[in-house]
Structures are given as C-alpha cells and as structure tokens.
Amino acid sequence: MNNLTIKDAREKLTKKEISSVELTKHYLTIVKTYNEKLNAFLTISEKEALEQAESADKRIGEGDSTPLLGIPLALKDIYVTKGIKTTAASKVLEEYIPQYDGTAVMLLKNAGAVILGKTNLDAWAHGSSGENSDFGPTKNPYNTAFVPGGSSSGSPVTVASEMALAASGTDTGGSIRLPASFCNVVGLKPTYGRVSRYGVIAMSSSLDSIGHFTKTVEDNAMYLQVTAGSDPHDATTPPVAVPNYTKNIAKGVKGLRIGVPKEYFIEGLDPRIKKMIEDALKVYEKLGAEIIEVSLPHTSYAIEVYYIVQTAEVSSNLARYDGIRFGKDRSHFGDEAKRRIMLGTYVLSAGYYDAFYKKAMQVRTLLKQDFDKAFKTVDVIIAPVSPTIPWKLGDKADDPLAMYLSDIFTVHANLVGVPGLAIPVGFIDSLPVGMQIFGPHFSEEKLYQVGFAYEAVNPVWKERPNL
Amino acid sequence: MKYTPVIGLEVHVELKTKSKMFCECSADYFGKEPNSHTCPTCLGLPGALPVPNKTAIDWCVMIAQSLNCEINEFSKFDRKNYFYPDLPKGYQISQYDLPFGKNGEVSLSSGKTIGITRVHMEEDTGKLTHQEMGGVKTSLIDYNRSGVPLVEIVTEPDFNNAKDVVAYLQMLRTIVRYLDVSNADMEKGDMRLEPNISLTTDVSKLPPYKVEVKNINSFKFVDKAIVFELKRQEEILESGQIPPQETRGWNEIKNATFSQRVKEEANDYRYFPEPDIPPIKFTKEQISNLKSKVPELQVEKITRFVKQFSLSSYDAELLTRERALADYFEQTVAQGIEKNISAKQIANTIINKKIDHTTISPEKLVSNIAESSQIKSLDESELQTIIDKVLQDNQKAVKDYKSGKESVIMFLVGQCMKAIGRKVDVNAVKEHLVQSLK
Amino acid sequence: MKINISHVAKLANLPLLDSEKQKFETQLSSILDYIAKLNEVDTSNVKDTSQVTGLENILREDKPLPSLSQKDALFQAKTTHNGFFAVKGIFENE
C-alpha cells in the first residue's frame, strides 16, 4: 500500500477490496514501527481508532459515502479531543484530557474518519521547526538529522512516512506551509475563518487558520470538503457557501494570471530554491498561464507586525493556563512560550501600546492593501515558502530571532487572512522544497486547480523517504 | 475647612437573560449546585470561543437609552487582561473605548443632574468564597456566575452627598425593573455598587486622589459606607495629609471601610480589541427601534399621573414604583370611569388598603370600591340606640360573649345589621358593638 | 531597547527564576530592537486592522442549552472540594 492516497483508499473501501479496520491496523503497525525514530505521534489512540474503523465499515456496508469515510488520519495535538489527551506539546497540559470535541474534530468524526492519534508540534504552536516541543523534536523522514519544520511538525511527517493518509495542522504564521514544504507533502492554510477554530487551542486568535496535510492536491480538497463551513460556535467564520472542491479540480490553468511578488525573491532566498520556483513558473507558462510581476511593497515589515500582533494575542490566550481548573501551573511553560508571553505583554502594556500594537494594526492595513491591489491584476500569486532548505536539528536553537526570520515569506498571508496552498516542487540536497500559491479570500477551489495542474506534470510527492 | 464630597458611581447590573453573555449556559445561577452551569467557554477551557448574546446587547442599549445616552453606531468588545482565580480566561471580555452608550444624563427628584459617562457590556466572573480547611486557608471557586451578562453604568463624579447616591440607585433599580431586564437585587448581587469617593476644597478642580469602596451589598449600607468614608477622609485631610488612593472594602459587621490593596501602580489591563468577536454596527433605525421598546419610565409616569389624575407626587411615586402596579392603577381607573369612581379614590384605596394587585382584578377592585361607597353613613346616636336594643334582646348571646365565646359577636353584628335595614359599614357597627360590650 | 523583565513577568503572571531574567532580557531586547523597525513606516491616516473577516453583528439568540455536568467541569482540576475548585487562600481582607 505504498503511496496510497485518500482517493485510492476511498475507492478500495467502497469496492470492499479492503476494510477500514484493515487499513487502520496497517497504519497503526507503521506508526508503531517508526514513531520512536521520528517522534511524530505524542499519543496513539489505538482503541478508539479501531472502534471508529469498525463503525466506518458498517456505514460503508450500508452504502454510505463521505470523502473521508474510513480514512485513518492524525490530529495535531492542538486539536481538543474529548477523552483523548491533548497537550499542545507542553508540560502544562501533559496530563490534560479534554471534556469536549472541537468542531473540526466532530466534523471529521461525523464524516467517519478514523483518528489514529495526536501529533507532535512546537509547544503551543510557537516555532518553525518542531524543536520547541516539550516532548522532544520530530525528525524529518527524508533525513532524520534535519528538522521537519513547524509548528505542525508531527502531522506532515505522519503523511510523508505513510503513518497516516492525512493529518491536521494549524497555520498562524506558516505552521502548515513551512513543514509541508520541508516534508514533501501538500499543506493548506485555508482562508481565515473557512474552518472553525472552536476546539483548537488558540495561539493567535486573528491569525490561526485550521488546515491540513495530505500527499496530493486532490486528497487535500477532499479533506477540506469535510472541515469547511461556518460554525455557530465561532463568530469569525463567515457564512460563505462551501463549493465542491474536487468537481472542477482538473480545470487547468489556461488564461490564469499568476502573480510573482518581487519582494519574495530577495537576497536571503537560497538561489537554488529561486531557480526551482522559476522552473515551476515556466511549467505554468507552458500550461497556458500568464506570469506577471507584482509588488507586495510592505512585505519586509510583515514579520515585525506578526511578532507584535501574534505575541500580544498569545499573551492573552495563554492567560487561562493557571493550573486551577486543569493542567499544571505557569512555571511549567517552556522558554519560547515564556518569551512570547512576555513580549506580547510588553507590546500591549501602558506606554508601549501605541508604539507597538497600534502601529502594528495600522501596518497590517497596509499589508492588506498590498494583497487587495495585487489581486486586481492577477488571479493567484506564487512564491517560495522558505528562504532556506530544512536546517539541521539544533542549528537555530540558541537564536530565537533567527528562528523567527524563517517565517518571512509565510506571515503576510496570515496577517491578511488569504489562503495559501503549499505543494512540493523538488529536492535540494535530498531535502524537500515546496512553493506556495496564494489567492483572494475563499479562493481555495482555484488554488487546488492551480496546484493540481502542476502536480499532474511534476508529481514530486511520489518520492517516498527511505525509512 | 469646608470640604465638598466628590463622588462618582460605578454600578454593575446583572441582566436576567436566559443564557449567558458569550455562551449558551443558563444564566439562572442563583442557588444552583456549584459548577453545574458551565461549559468550555465560560470555564475558560482550551480552544473555547465566545459568541455574544443579542438580547443582552439590546437590553444594554435600552438601559443606556433610559439614561438618555448617545448610542455608538459602531462599537466592539475588548479584552481586559488581569489574573485572578475567579476570572477563568485570565481576561474579561468587556468594552474599552467604544461602549454601547455614552454621554447620558439623569435628573434626581431633588433636582440634581447626574452625568452618565458610559454604559457598557461585560461578562461576570466566578464567585470566590474563603474557608479554612484543616488549618489551611483555602479559596473555593464556583464558575456558575462566570459569563453572566453585566451592564456597567459609570457616572461623572457629580454626587456631593450620600442621599443623592441612594436616590440615584433607587432610580436605577426602578428603571431596570421597568425594562424587565434585571431584578436589581443588591442582596442577591444582581446590582453592585462601587462608589469612588473623595473630598475637595475647590469644587472647580478634581481632587488629587480617590478611594474606591467595594463590597457594599445592601441598600441600607450605601448611606452608612459613604458617610463613614467621608468622615475618615476628612480626618486625614484635617491632619494635613492626603488620603492614599486605594481600594477599600466595606465591613458591615464593623461598620467601617478597611484597606484592601494599596495599589503602587494602577492595574495595567492592556486592553486590546477582542479578536474573537466581530464589531457591532447599529443602524439609526435599529437604535430608534430599541428606543421605542423603552416604556414610559417612572419619572415621566409620576409627572403624568400628577397632571392627569390630580394625584400628589407622593402618591404618584408610590403607585409607580413597580411598573405592574402603575399599569394596574391605570387599568382600574379606566374601569372606574363608568361607575363614577375617581382616580383619587382608587389611588387612596390601593395605597391605604395595601391592595395586592396580583390577586384582585381591576374590575373587582372597582366594584368593591363602588360597593363600599354606597355604604351610607350612620348616625352615631341612631346606631347606639339599635345596639342597645339588640343587646337587650339577646342577653344569652351577650353572656356567652362576655364569658369568652368571641365568635358570638358576628351573630350580634348580624342582628344589628338587620335592625338597621340598609347597607352600612359593617366594621363600624362591629367596632361600636365591641365598645358597648365592654 | 531595555525591557524591565521583572515588571513584565509580574504582569504576565510568570514566575521567573533570577537566573533566567538576564537571559530573557537579552533575548527580548534584541527582538524588540528588530521589531521597532516598524517606526519607519508612514502610517499617518491609516486605519487599524484588528480583524480580517470584515464581519459585523455576529450574534446569538438568547437560548440556553445544557451545560457540562459538574463532574465533567471538575474532573481535570488538581484540587476540588464539595463541587468547588479549590486554590490556596486568596485574601483581600485585613
């Protein structure tokens, strides 16, 4: 069952060539074989998974069909799951067992998905490499001496190493797109508000996007079909209809105007990555798209705005962790969490609010105007995800600022709320490289079409790691 | 030295909505088992989110309109960040710079005008109680109250005495009860008061300090607490010092205020716009729609009753204390027109006879009044003659009564009534009879 | 940029060891210096953006629904007593 996709698996399940229980047992075996080496899962919920698989088989037997019925997947351990330990990879929540399921989890369960367990992350989603986990870093399956990217570090690894068919993540400043491109998988950061945040441990409320990893673009669309939609429990989910994401996915890119932002192709970008993206753009041209240079002039300020807005919201969102109603007290926070809480507290504090927070809110408006203007002349924008290829575990450990700068190409989308789809484009030094496709709010259907077109010509995802 | 009190009030009114401010838990928490009315949102569990209660917001606007406030067409919620065990999220969702209502004004019956600075919406905290358990001081927390809607009403520091403060509180209580948005029961905690008190020698300037007093749990303590605090501050000022700016608590057993925490620095709440809740925009139409739902309030009703029904303002005030009673009065007046019963008669009856308007319908009350006014007056000497005769004719009954059988009086009253032959005031007859029997 | 770590840690309710304070102060100061670059941007007459959905008036009807059971509400807490959450004494009074 190498390189099985959700699409393939769904077909096999419907044809009764395989049962969900068999599929689940298969993946659980792989998990148990490789998890110690890769440290992708923090919790394996075998019993619950098999129960879910059994009930999925029953539904399949009754002729039921949903895009994820019977499909084993993993959840970033920032998704609150009733009765199953949820830690945010932090010692504070080391023993926390939630009393409720979040909306996205309920939707996945109702669709008959099988949840294999909870995956590792940078604690509280604070990080870009997975090294801030309180339970040890996850390793990149393509080279275990290297980082898989973060903060959703475990999830892309489960998909890349065939421990699961899909895995959920969150993207607040690139935490899906970056690890997706480091692990040779497809990662979607949906439009802010496309998927409910209710029941996902909040990092930065106005930036958190609830997305997921899959092997292929079409798989990714099938998953979004289940989780997208407005939620009465989340007041920031607009009542925008959910289109059929897979129906026209093979539409192609003829006549598509692809914007290339010049501010993303700057000196800090590894020239090999630059070449790869340029080659990808040539592919799109051949397929009938038009490549147009655009400008997102305030790009260089995005990181500063991000580290003000995000840390401010983090400092407030983490205030509830006081050890009284659940979890352990605040002395159990790791260093990175402490740094961000203090930074956020500082930028909101009396005397500093105007210079930092208010200023950041204003520049955020300018960043939004950048994208609005660009999308008047192009349909989508393509850019690199990371300025560098994955780095070795430990390389950036002592320099928090250097770690923050790995987000320079990803945070802009979060500040503005636009969706971004990261897809694999190739390998450098045997390490995965990806590119990201942005579109206006709620343009996921188009992003999938664009991603699908490239993937059909260049199926990089098929290259499995040697485990 | 002549000191003028400078007092501003912060009143919190708990709304009696069915559900809480930001979640669907029942807001009816009083007397319930602890922590039985909570959910991820009001318990501050990981991943939970707030969704505002439309009715609570409408009611907040109506309260603001009753206080003659401007309603902000654009407003939002903000996070007020601080740590305390009764605050599960570590922040309270409140309103900072764009409250629903602002710049209002009310006139007290004394003629004094009080400026209303702002009226805003926020969520209540959990309840802390303190115990000593096994020698260890422990605080117990019940989050049933956490998330219940609160409206905060802040006045300008326009009060100069305790009496006006009490009058304002009574007015506020009547208003929210008229609107039927809160029971405003200080003892139950659904109306809470925090006065900011200081003294000044120069009324054109604000004093250089103010003392906030908390924990005043009953109307009867409002006056006491303010008077005590003013005296305490005066003594300090007389000694040439300035009272420290602080929060003090009222101790009802000791009848005194005591220092709670001397704030070296004011709490830095780090307000910022609540990212989880989209802003609120009202159209002019929506605002006037809500205004039309504000009923005639007591102040206006008193004026109208005095004019329309020729009542004294004292009587009008009594009749309008509760909206239901005022409505009852007007309904009874309407009924009384056909029977030629005057509004004044009805008012007197209701007030003097302490009529329970929930048990006697307007129609019944009118007919009772009609009946008793038919009762002709009795000549005292005529009555006495009849009584003497009845007593003489019923000596056994008299003997029985005098030996303790008190129920016999009704038989004797009956005999008198028969002899009188026309409808008279039974109670007057009975009274005279009893006197004569002595 | 100098940051008063003790003050910020106190506001943030984070217990820091004295040995940690210097480290954090250095790290945060350098991050703040970087972030202060934002002052270069001309934001005169630019409005704030705090939300990107453009939504307004997302409100809920006043309808109560069942709550968590008391058991569920309490079961993750370290210390409870007779249905209450319990913490070491917080006293404001004399």
The share of chain B scoring above pLDDT 70, in percent, equals: 97
Checking if the pLDDT of A60 tops 50, the result is: yes
Substitution target from A315, A325, A347, A352 for chain B, most B beta carbons within 10 A: A325
pLDDT in tens, A249-261: 999 999 999 999 9
Check residue A268 and give its pLDDT. Answer: 86
Q: Provide the number of CB pairs (under 8 Å) joining chain A to chain B.
A: 99
Q: Does A175 participate in catalysis according to the annotation?
A: yes
Q: What's the whole-number mean pLDDT along residues C78-94?
A: 81
Q: Give the chains touching C; criterion: ≥3 Cβ pairs < 8 Å.
A: A, B
The rounded distance, in Å, linking the Cα atoms of C25 and C49 is: 30
Q: Give the chains touching A; criterion: ≥3 Cβ pairs < 8 Å.
A: B, C
Would you kindly state where each structural domain of chain A is located, as residue ranges? 6-462
- A349 and B268 within 8 Å at the Cβ level: the answer is yes
- B54 and C62 within 8 Å at the Cβ level: the answer is yes
The rounded distance, in Å, linking the Cα atoms of A2 and B239 is: 89
Q: Which two tokens stand for residue B377?
A: 């007056």
- Could you give the 3-state DSSP secondary structure of residue B321? coil
Q: Give the chains touching B; criterion: ≥3 Cβ pairs < 8 Å.
A: A, C
Nearest to A100 among B40, B44, B268 (CB): B40
Which residues of A fall within a CB distance of 8 Å from B88?
320, 324-325
- A234 and B49 within 8 Å at the Cβ level: the answer is yes
Higher per-residue confidence, A321 vs C1: A321
- C38 and A359 within 8 Å at the Cβ level: the answer is yes
Q: Provide the number of CB pairs (under 8 Å) joining chain A to chain C.
A: 136
pLDDT grade, residue A405 (50/70/90)?
confident
- B270 and A205 within 8 Å at the Cβ level: the answer is no
Nearest to B49 among A235, A318, A348 (CB): A235
Task: Please give the full DSSP string across A281-349, using - where no structure is assigned.
Answer: HHHHHHTT-EEEEE--TTGGGHHHHHHHHHHHHHHHHGGG-SSSSSS--GGG--HHHHHHHHHHHHHHS
Chain C nearest-CA distance from A68, in A, is 28
- Could you give the 3-state DSSP secondary structure of residue B135? coil
Chain C nearest-CA distance from B278, in A, is 5
H or E element that contains A394: none
Q: What are the residues facing B136 on neighbouring strands?
A: B133
Chain B nearest-CA distance from A324, in A, is 8
pLDDT in tens, C24-56: 999 999 999 999 999 999 999 999 999 999 999
User: Which of the residues A45, A151, A161, A181 is marked catalytic?
Assistant: A151
Q: What's the whole-number mean pLDDT along residues A316-326?
A: 97
pTM here is 0.91
Give C64-69 contacts, CB < 8 A, sequence gap 24+. Answer: C64/B18, C64/B19, C64/B24, C64/B25, C64/B26, C64/B27, C65/B19, C65/B24, C65/B25, C67/B25, C67/B26, C67/B36, C67/B37, C67/B38, C67/B39, C68/A99, C68/A100, C68/B38, C68/B39, C68/B40, C68/B43, C69/B36
Checking if the pLDDT of C93 tops 60, the result is: no
Phi, then psi, of B6 in degrees rounded to 5? -125, 110
Chain A nearest-CA distance from C92, in A, is 19
- C12 and A342 within 8 Å at the Cβ level: the answer is yes
Name the residue in chain C with its Cα closest to that of A98: C76
| Residue A300 CA: distances (Å) to CA of A73, A405, B198 | 37, 11, 52
User: Which of the residues A128, A155, A175, A209 is marked catalytic?
Assistant: A175
The rounded distance, in Å, linking the Cα atoms of B80 and A77 is: 29
Report the sign of the C-alpha dihedral through residues B38, B42, B44, B48, in that order.
positive
pLDDT in tens, A73-84: 999 999 999 999
| Residue B210 CA: distances (Å) to CA of A201, B157, B206 | 41, 10, 9
The rounded distance, in Å, linking the Cα atoms of B261 and B287 is: 41
- B52 and A235 within 8 Å at the Cβ level: the answer is yes
User: Which of the residues A7, A20, A45, A76 is marked catalytic?
Assistant: A76
Query: Do B215 and B224 touch, CB atoms closer than 8 A?
Result: no
Phi, then psi, of A76 in degrees rounded to 5? -55, 135
Which residues of A fall within a CB distance of 8 Å from C72?
99
pLDDT in tens, B282-329: 999 999 999 999 999 999 999 999 999 999 999 999 999 999 999 999
The rounded distance, in Å, linking the Cα atoms of A178 and A411 is: 11
Name the residue in chain B with its Cα closest to that of C58: B278
- B46 and A234 within 8 Å at the Cβ level: the answer is no
Name the residue in chain C with its Cα closest to that of A367: C49
Give the residue carrying structure tokens 């009609």.
B370
Check residue A433 and give its pLDDT. Answer: 98
Q: Does A90 participate in catalysis according to the annotation?
A: no
Task: Go through B307-332 and write b for each residue having 16 or more CB atoms within 10 A of its CB, e for each that does not.
Answer: eebebeeebbbbbbbebebbebbbbb
- Amino acid (1-letter code) at residue A235: A
Nearest to B138 among C50, C56, C86 (CB): C86
- B277 and C90 within 8 Å at the Cβ level: the answer is no
Among A287, A316, A326, residue whose Cα is nearest residue A453: A287
Chain B nearest-CA distance from A335, in A, is 20
Higher per-residue confidence, B426 vs B73: B73
- Amino acid (1-letter code) at residue B222: V
- B276 and A236 within 8 Å at the Cβ level: the answer is yes
pLDDT in tens, B38-71: 999 999 999 999 999 999 999 999 999 999 999 9
What average pLDDT does the structure give for chain A?
A: 97
Which residues of A fall within a CB distance of 8 Å from B90?
316, 318-322
Q: Is C30 on the interface with B (CB under 8 A)?
A: no
Higher per-residue confidence, A254 vs B431: A254
Task: Please give the full DSSP string across A31-46, using - where no structure is assigned.
Answer: HHHHHHHH--EEEE-H
- B35 and C74 within 8 Å at the Cβ level: the answer is yes
Chain A nearest-CA distance from C75, in A, is 8
- The superfamily CATH assigns to domain A6-462 is Amidase signature (AS) domain (3.90.1300.10)
- B54 and C59 within 8 Å at the Cβ level: the answer is yes
Checking if the pLDDT of B265 tops 90, the result is: no
Name the residue in chain B with its Cα closest to that of A203: B47
Q: Does A76 participate in catalysis according to the annotation?
A: yes
Q: What's the whole-number mean pLDDT along residues A20-30?
A: 98
Q: What's the whole-number mean pLDDT along residues B386-411?
A: 89
- A319 and B90 within 8 Å at the Cβ level: the answer is yes
The share of chain A scoring above pLDDT 70, in percent, equals: 100
- B270 and A234 within 8 Å at the Cβ level: the answer is no
Which residues of A fall within a CB distance of 8 Å from C69?
none
Name the residue in chain A with its Cα closest to that of C76: A326
Which ipTM score applies to this complex? 0.96
Nearest to A315 among C12, C24, C30 (CB): C12
Substitution target from B35, B53, B76, B214 for chain C, most C beta carbons within 10 A: B35
Name the residue in chain B with its Cα closest to that of A99: B40
Q: Which two tokens stand for residue A287?
A: 């397929």
Checking if the pLDDT of B132 tops 90, the result is: no
Which residues of B fall within a CB distance of 8 Å from C51?
273, 275, 278-279
Domains along the sequence of chain B with CATH: 4-285 (no CATH), 296-374 (no CATH), 380-437 (1.10.10.410)
What average pLDDT does the structure give for chain B?
A: 92
- A197 and B89 within 8 Å at the Cβ level: the answer is no
Checking if the pLDDT of B27 tops 50, the result is: yes
Q: How far is C-alpha C10 from the chain's CA centre? A: 12
Which residues of A fall within a CB distance of 8 Å from C12?
315, 341-342, 345
The tally of CA atoms less than 13 A away on the side-chain side of residue A96 is: 32
The rounded distance, in Å, linking the Cα atoms of B120 and B92 is: 13
